[in-house]
Homo-oligomer: A and B are copies of this chain.
Amino acid sequence: MSVVAAKGFRAAGVAAGIKASGNPDLALVVNDGPRFDAAGVFTRNKVKAAPVLWTEQVVAATRRLRAVVLNSGGANACTGHEGFQTAHSTAEKAAALLDAGAIEVAVCSTGLIGAQLPRGRVLAGVERAHAALSAAPGAGPAAAAAIMTTDTVVKQAAHSDGAGWSVGGMAKGAGMIAPSMATMLAVVTTDAAIDGEVLDEALRAAVRVSFDRLDVDGSTSTNDTVLVLASGASGVEADPLAFTAALTAVCRDLAQQMQADAEGVTKRITVRVSGAASEDDAVTVARTVARDSLVKTALFGSDPNWGRVAAAVGYSDADVNPEMLDISINGALLCHRGVASGDRSAADLSGKEVLVHVELGLGDGHAEILTTDLSHAYVEENSAYSS
C-alpha cells in the first residue's frame, strides 16, 4: 500500500528542520534495481521551481532514476540561481551516498513559493534519511508523511493482480490543484521490468485520466511532479497494457485521496459530461463547471442551483447547443433540453458526494473531473496560511 510495496525499493522520511514546526519534511525513495527505468510528467506552468527544472532535465536525459529526494516546507520556486544550486547540491548529496551520479537523482519540493531552502539542513537531512532507508512496511508511510503540507492524511496506493509485479505510490496535495500549484507531488514505484519508453507512455496515459482530471481550484503549480520508477526486481516483464491499467488505477486512487483531503472540502464533487462533440470538449465543459466559484459555493450550501451549471456550460469554450442541454444533480433531472424540469428539491445534497451530470446531446465525447466545494474552511485555510 505504499512506495515500498513493489520489490527493489527502500524509503525514509525524516524531520530535517526545514519546517518551523519540526514535523517530518524530507523523504528519500531509492531504487535498488536491478533496473532503473523511470519517467516523469511535470507542471506546464511557465514559472517552474528549481527542482522541476533539475528533474525534468535529468529524466529527459537518461530515463533512469536511482533515487528521488522530496522536501516539504518550501517550494524552492522563484529562487533563482541559488535555488537551482540547492536542488543540484541535494541531488549530488544523495548520489554520493548511493554511489551514483547526480544525474540519476530527482528532486521535488513543495511549500511556500519565493523563499530559499536552508541548504545545510536539506543536505544533512538527506544524510539522515539515507541512514534510515528501509524496505519495511513502515518506511512508506514515513516517506509519505514527510511530504505533507496542508494535507491532513498521508496518501498511498498500491495495485497487485497476480501478474508477478506490483505498483505502489504516494502523493501529496490539498490545494492549488489543477493539476496543481506548489503542492502536487507523486512518486510511484513498480518492480515490473519495463522499458523507459513504455514507462513514459504508460505514465502519460495514466496521468491524463487521473491527476489531470482533478481540479480543486484551477491553479496550476510551479512544482507539480509525478515520477514513476521501475526496479525490475520482480523479474517479470510487464505487458504494457496491463501495466498502464495498473498504473492508472494507482494514480486514480491517489487523485481521489487528494480530492477527499482537499483544502476546506465538505463535498466531493464529480462533474460528469457526456454527449460532447469530443473528449476534449467534455473535459473543457467539466473543468469549467468544476472551477466555477458560484457552482462550488452553491454546492457547499447544499443548493442544487443547476442554473449556475447551465451558465458555466454556456461560457465554456466547447461546442454547446443550449436546446440540447440536460443537467442532473445526484440523479435528479433538473434541466431538460435547456429548460427547467422537475423539482429542484428532488436533488438530495445532504451527503458528502455530489454528482453533477451534464449531457450535451451532441456526440460521444465524455469525461469526468473531480473537484470540491468552495467553503468557509477553504477561504480560512488560504487566507491564513502562506503557501
Q: Are A301 and B384 in contact (CB under 8 A)?
A: yes
CB of A45 within 8 A of chain B?
Answer: yes
Give the contacting residue for A47; candidates B80, B320, B382; CB below 8 A.
B320
The oligomer's copy count stands at 2
Q: How many Å lie between the Cα of A78 and that of B384 in the bound state?
A: 39
Q: Are A386 and B303 in contact (CB under 8 A)?
A: yes
Most B CB contacts (10 A, CB to CB) among A221, A305, A306 go to: A305
Segment touching B, from A165-173, A203-211, A237-245, A309-317:
A309-317
Segment touching B, from A274-282, A288-296, A361-369:
A288-296
Q: Are A297 and B46 in contact (CB under 8 A)?
A: no
| CB within 8 Å for A79 and B339 given contacts A217-B294, A322-B47, A386-B305 | yes
| CB within 8 Å for A340 and B115 given contacts A293-B382, A305-B386 | yes
CB of A128 within 8 A of chain B?
Answer: no
Q: How many Å lie between the Cα of A258 and that of B28 in the bound state?
A: 52
Give the contacting residue for A78; candidates B294, B315, B338, B375; CB below 8 A.
B338
Q: Are B80 and A339 in contact (CB under 8 A)?
A: yes
Q: How many Å lie between the Cα of A217 and that of B48 in the bound state?
A: 26
Chain B residue at minimal CB-CB distance from A297: B382
Residues of B near A306 (CB, < 8 A) are 114
Report A32-55 residues with CB < 8 Å from chain B CB. Answer: 44-48
Residues of B near A380 (CB, < 8 A) are 376
Give the contacting residue for A339; candidates B78, B307, B379; CB below 8 A.
B78
| CB within 8 Å for A303 and B383 given contacts A47-B338, A322-B48 | yes
Most B CB contacts (10 A, CB to CB) among A221, A307, A376 go to: A307
Q: How many Å lie between the Cα of A338 and that of B84 in the bound state?
A: 13
CB of A113 within 8 A of chain B?
Answer: yes
Q: How many Å lie between the Cα of A45 and that of B383 in the bound state?
A: 31
CB of A139 within 8 A of chain B?
Answer: no
CB of A68 within 8 A of chain B?
Answer: no
Residues of B near A219 (CB, < 8 A) are 292-294, 308, 311-312, 315
Chain B residue at minimal CB-CB distance from A313: B47
Report A317-370 residues with CB < 8 Å from chain B CB. Answer: 320, 322, 325, 334-335, 337-340
CB of A220 within 8 A of chain B?
Answer: yes
Segment touching B, from A98-106, A141-149, A174-182, A248-256:
A174-182
Residues of B near A294 (CB, < 8 A) are 175-176, 181, 217, 219, 382, 387
New A-B pairs, 7, CB < 8 Å, besides A113-B308, A113-B310, A293-B382: A46-B313, A47-B314, A217-B293, A298-B386, A300-B379, A303-B386, A379-B379
